[in-house]
Each structure stands twice: as C-alpha cells, then as structure tokens.
Chain A
C-alpha cells in the first residue's frame, strides 16, 4: 500500500510539473504582454526596454529554466499589473472558490443521495421515471445558461436575490444552485444505479424474503454498500466542479480563482495565469490522488495493476 501511495504521489508531482511546462510554452509562443501594460503612447524603444526588464527577450529555454527553477520554490514571479507575488494573489482567491465548490457539492449530495435512493426504491413508478427524465435533462443544461436563467427569474424579474458580487450568504445562493445542478443530475443517476446493483444482490433478496422491513434494509445495507462507488464518483467529479466553478464565478462575478484566471487571461497577466494553472492542476491531481488511494484501499486488486 505504501509503495502504491509513494508511486502515485510521485506521479502527481510529475503531472503538475509537465502541465506547467506545457502552459509555459503555449503562453510564451503566443506573444508577450508588455504592450498591454504600458500606456498607449509608449514609444517602441520603451517597449523593448520593458521586455528586457521583464526578461521576455531572452532565449525561450533560458526563460523556461529560470521560471521552473523559481516555480518549484513557489515563486511564480510578480503579477505584471500589480507587481505582487502571483502565487499569493491566486492563493488569496482559493477560499472563495472552495466556498462555492463545497457548498455546491454538499447541496448536490444532500439532494441527490435521497433522491437516487428513493428512485431506486420506487423503481419504475412515475416518481422514478420523472426523476430519471429530469436527471437526463439536467445533464444537458450548460451551467452558464442555467446561471443566466436564474439571474433572469430571481434577480431581474422577482428581484429577490442578487445576481452576483459580494460575498454574503445571499450572494452565494444563485451561484451555488447553478454549480450544483449538473452534479445533482449526475449523482442522482449514479446513486440510483448503484442502489439497484446492490438491491439485486442475493443477500438483500434473502433478507427481504426473511421479512426485514425494506426501508431499514435500504438504510442499513444497500446504501452503505453503494456509498463507496458514490464517494469515488464524487471525488472524480470534483474536477468537473472546479471547471464549472470558473464559469459560474464569471457569470456571477464571484471573487474566486476562476474569475481571476479569466481576467488574467484577458489582461495577459501571465505570471498569474501560470500560478493559477499550477494551483488548479495541483488541487485536481491531489483530489484524484486521494480518490485513487481510497479506492485502492477498498479494492486491493487495483494496487497490483
């Protein structure tokens, strides 16, 4: 087990470093950002001077070496715009993104697990069928559009909820719902089929035949046994959630990493883009790492593979 963890952890590091490399070269090849930050009347020689100052006219490979050397020490350089530590800026936005992602995840779980269980329990009834249809439609709705529709109803028409900005609980409602919708659909669908799998198992049938009340049966055995695959799916879906959070943050002006990354892409504030990429890749890789380790812990044969 320890071997597996070490090997898998090493993989995380390699993956994050490679991701940084790829984005670094993509960004450098796409041009340099100097002109966006200088006043529009800056003469040519001044632009050149800034390129020199920021090191953009050195050979690409030297720039890369320099960048990596500092990056592995957590130094991604300074934001071009504010001359503050880029990584620090990104890290300061993490709480807001987590706040959004975690509340969406919890809401999704709170809605999806009972719904999935009920759906499986009342299999083939109208309730089940409507539920399944809703999950299918739910997975086809792009989150940014759902966000717009929610803004239209709750902010523009009813005027009862703010459509974004700020950081209070009220401001959190619409973005959370937007982000949670897709996961609700996915988790419900998955819980339902995981439950059905378990319910089909012999020991459940036997217990049922021997007169254990069905509801207790579900709570006691079926749900517990289907929790492991559900948790694994949740962990794997965190990436989708993080990706969705970026778009949701933009739609609702939520001050998290996603909005920062979008703005930095538009402003060409490359140190922030790189630091943001690093953090997201790291979180994502770590989440997958934990999911894998958990999974391997539960299914020992995975480790051999």
Chain B
C-alpha cells in the first residue's frame, strides 16, 4: 500500500519539503522585518535563558532572609531592586520567579494543547455522538469565566506548582479542542483528503499522515497566544493566596506578600508586577507576529 502513494500526494510532499529546509532562515528574515515580533522574540528568549540559568546568576540567595536588611529601598547595599519584608533580595527573587512563569506557561500550553488537540481531533474526525458529547463538555467548561474556573479548581485541590498547572490545563484545553476540531472539519473537506478517502487509504493513515501534520501551525499559533493568558492567570491566582505558595518565589505571590507594604515600600509591588507585564507583552507580541506570519488569513482578528 505504501509503495503506491497516490500521485497528487507525492506532489504535495515535494511541495512541502523545500519549504522546510529554509524554515529557520525564513523565520529570522521574517522576524527581522517586524520590530514588534522581534521585541517579543527577544523578551521570550531572555526569559527562557534566565529561567534556565537563573539560579547561578542571582546576586544573592533568593531564599535567604537577612532580617537586619529588610525593606531596603532599591539601589542600596548592592540590592538593585531593594529587599523585601524578610530582607531577601528582590532582584534575585524576580530572576528565580521567571522560572515559575516559564514552567507554568510552557507546561500548561503543552498539557492543555495535547489534551485539547487529541479531543479536537477525535471530535472533528470521527464526528457522531462522540463529537456531540465532547463538544458539550467544552461548552460546560466555557460556561465559566476562565480565571474563575481556574481559581475555584485551584482553591479546591490546593496550592502548589503542580496543582496550578492542573487547574490551568483543566480550564485551558477547551480552546484548543474547539479550534482543532474546526480545523479538522475544514481539512476533511479539502481535496487531497477526499482523494485519499476515494483511493481507499485507511482512516488511521489519513489521520496520522495528512491531518495531524497540518495541525501544527494552528496549534503553535494558539499555544503562543495562550501562554500569556496562563502566566497572567497564575500570577492572579497566586496573588489571591492560592496558586504557587511562598517561599517559592513567583511573581504573583511576591505581589501578595508585598501588598501590605504598599504604604511604606513601593518597590515590593512594583518590580514583580513589571516583570509580569513585560513577560505578557513579549509573549503577546510574539504570538501576534507568529499568527500574522504563519496564517495571514487570520490577520487582525
């Protein structure tokens, strides 16, 4: 069977291959043409690097409480962004906090993306009653504001890095499922798929060889747009006292700990918040650019 690939399929493969070769070069040449995309990309790369090597580049131990030096304002005694209520270096804590944000953004996108994609494929490809049931579940999940859903789930299952990822994924997979399902539905109608069906290629083969590869673009676009949402959602929930629990430094819980000092020590709430804004900005800019580049049809939506 595999030896007798239909001709138009062969042709399609040939058309796709040369494109892949220069993918990285195309990526950067496209990127250099958009300053917003470039800024986003730089922010994201910086963030990833910081989260990887963060623990070796912090000027102070982010966990060490030196009480005699508590609440020092920025730029004193070597503390670039000052110290917090326990005398811990805020700059070091922000650096280490980047890891939490990156882990949560990526892990949630991965888990939610994977679950959502599988469910979207099943619903879109097999249709019928399974589609109806799955989409009803999607409707239920969407019947709740995202942040509230995650908050309620996290409050119930308890704080912690793992639990917040679970809560975010539970709230987040639906959007993938919905988008992927409609992509699959659209793909099913495409000529080369109907041709495959006509020539008797098995459904499984069609799925793996022709549908799944075509889903990568929408998945990547969607994931990159969702990561910012996840990072902000985690910060909000940690800020409310659920989410990531101290002493693990996360930007959200740093703000939570700092909010009682708002009248005396402005730096406690300023810098972790700025870190969140810059991160979300970077992710959004890059996501927008990615969408515009990979899928011009969606532009401006």
Contacts and interface: CB of A to CB of B under 8 A. Distances in A.
Is any CB of A less than 8 Å from a CB of B in the complex? yes
A71 interface: no
Interface in A131-178: 136-137, 139-145, 148-149, 151-152, 156
Nearest to A242: B145
A151 B262 contact: yes
A294 interface: no
B237 to A, nearest CB: 9
B27 interface: no
B155 A265 contact: yes
B262 A148 contact: yes
B188 interface: no
Contact of A18 (B136, B157, B284): B136
Contacts of A144: 235-236, 239-240, 255
A26 B149 CA distance: 12
Contacts of A30: 156-158
Contacts of B276: 142, 145
Given A26-B156, A139-B284, A246-B151, A280 B145 contact: yes
B146 A243 contact: yes
B266 interface: yes
A15 interface: yes
A136 B281 contact: yes
B280 A19 contact: no
Interface string B245-288: 00000000001000100110010011001001110110011000
Given A140-B277, A145-B255, A247 B152 contact: no
A142 B236 contact: yes
Interface in B139-159: 139-140, 143-148, 151-153, 155-158
Contact of A250 (B228, B240, B266, B300): B240
B94 interface: no
Contact of B147 (A140, A247, A285, A288): A247
Contacts of B239: 144-145, 247
A227 B241 CA distance: 40
B64 to A, nearest CB: 26
A198 interface: no
A273 B240 CA distance: 16
A124 to B, nearest CB: 15
A241 to B, nearest CB: 8
B280 A156 contact: no
Contact of A142 (B36, B146, B235, B300): B235
Contacts of A273: 152
Contacts of B269: 145, 148-149, 152
A197 B277 CA distance: 30
B236 A15 contact: no
B147 A244 contact: yes
Contacts of A193: 300
Interface residues on B, range: 35 or more
B277 A19 contact: no
B94 to A, nearest CB: 14
A244 B140 CA distance: 20
Contacts of A261: 148, 152
B273 A280 contact: no
B285 A156 contact: no
Contacts of A262: 151, 240
Interface on chain A toward B: helix, strand, loop, or mixed SS?
Answer: helix
B184 interface: no
Contacts of B144: 19, 277, 280-281, 284
B277 A145 contact: yes
B179 interface: no
Contact of A243 (B143, B148, B157): B148
A64 to B, nearest CB: 16
A271 B31 CA distance: 53
A94 interface: no
B232 interface: yes
A47 interface: no
A288 B284 CA distance: 26
A250 B269 CA distance: 16
A148 B145 contact: no
Contacts of A139: 280, 284
B273 A142 contact: yes
A277 B36 CA distance: 40
Contacts of B278: 140
Given A144-B255, A148-B269, A242 B148 contact: yes
A193 B285 CA distance: 17
A214 interface: no
A156 B263 contact: yes
A159 to B, nearest CB: 10
A22 interface: yes
A141 B235 CA distance: 11
22 contacts: A15-B136, A15-B139, A16-B143, A18-B140, A136-B285, A141-B277, A142-B232, A142-B236, A148-B255, A148-B262, A148-B273, A152-B270, A156-B266, A243-B146, A246-B145, A246-B147, A250-B240, A265-B155, A280-B145, A281-B143, A284-B143, A285-B143
Given A140-B284, A145-B239, A284-B145, 5 more contacts: A22-B140, A30-B157, A140-B280, A145-B255, A246-B145
Interface of A: 11, 14-16, 18-19, 22-23, 26-27, 30, 136-137, 139-145, 148-149, 151-152, 156, 193, 196-197, 239-240, 242-244, 246-247, 250, 261-262, 265-266, 273, 277, 280-281, 284-285, 288
Listed from nearest, the 10 A-B pairs whose CB atoms lie closest are A243-B145, A140-B280, A145-B273, A140-B281, A243-B147, A265-B155, A18-B140, A15-B143, A239-B145, A30-B156
